[in-house]
Amino acid sequence: PDLSSMLLREQWIRARYERKEFVCVERQEPYSAGYREGFLWKRGRDNGQFLSRKCILSERDGALKYFNKHDAREPKALMKIHTLNASFQPGKIGQPHGLQVTYLKDNSTRNIFVYHKDGKEMVDWFNAIRAARFHYLQVAFPGAHHADLVPKLTRNYIKEGYMEKTGPKHTEGFKKRWFTMDDRRLMYFKDPLDAYARGEVFIGSKENSYTVLPGLPPSTQGYHWQFGITIVTPDRKFLFTCETEEEQQDWMAAFQGLVNRPMLPQEYAVEAHFKHKP
């Protein structure tokens, strides 16, 4: 079962039956107030230690901020609401209410990992981020139906897990990496809890000459896992290997789903950015 949906379901039940938030309006959390501040335990980027950090979500500033020192004037990071995403990742983070927050910094994805011992507190932060995203999207897409905006509030990853990869020349040895597929961005990390990806691959559609093939080119060497995948893009071939046939099939299905989906106008801009990356 999906741990994030279990956590959300538990808090929904508590809100309804314990806290009576649905019948007593004055008990409803101001999820949609557009401002929230508090302290969350944040994982250090380099040492992996969790430290208490002051966090402020401000719709007026259009950002979620965190501060390294309680009396600091300038935030350590400013995460713009329009690129913000949040997903519960208790297993990966190792905390029951662990939340992975991502945003774009110079068009690269940056990961922040936070948790709170109180499940309600963490769900309230998650809902506050979703409310801020909803208000941003209402302004960005005037006239859009609420039902069309809801899927854009936050998103879970299509798939995550380990694969091996090789470099652009295909002569380098294969290295084991943690892969995260966030819509059309396939990112790879040395460690699942790294702040930044080692690299990102854009997965376009078949109309734009993207193809997914099982196996590796015949001359390929230097891999340990036997179940290969080749992704053909307009610029080059990306070679991956999976530990089991089941993992290979799962990744293939995830890639194929994207390749079969026509690209949206805004996705062409993302693809263009990837092509111009150094």
Extents of the domains making up the chain = 3-152, 159-276
For the chain, the average pLDDT equals 90
Per-residue confidence band for 4, with pLDDT thresholds at 50, 70 and 90 = low
CB contact burial 209-228 (16+ within 10 A = b; e otherwise)? ebebeeebeeebeebebebb
Fold of 3-152: PH-domain like (2.30.29)
What is the reported pTM?
0.87
Output the six-digit token pair for 160. Answer: 């995550």
Give dist(CA 153, CA 134) in Å, integer.
Answer: 6
Give dist(CA 73, CA 59) in Å, integer.
Answer: 18
CB atoms within 10 A of CB 41: 17
CATH of domain 159-276: 2.30.29.30
Give dist(CA 182, CA 82) in Å, integer.
Answer: 16
Residues 6 or more apart whose CB falls under 8 angstroms from that of 273 comprise 107
For residue 179, list its beta bridge partners.
161, 188
For residue 104, list its beta bridge partners.
109
Residue 151's identity, in one-letter code, is: P
Handedness of CA 124, 54, 64, 273 (dihedral sign): negative
DSSP 3-state of 244: coil
What confidence tens digit (pLDDT) does each residue in 126-142 have? 999 999 999 999 999 99
Residue 198's identity, in one-letter code, is: R
Please give the share of the chain, as a percent, with pLDDT higher than 90.
Answer: 73
pLDDT at 278 over 50: no
What confidence tens digit (pLDDT) does each residue in 30-52 have? 555 689 999 999 999 888 999 99
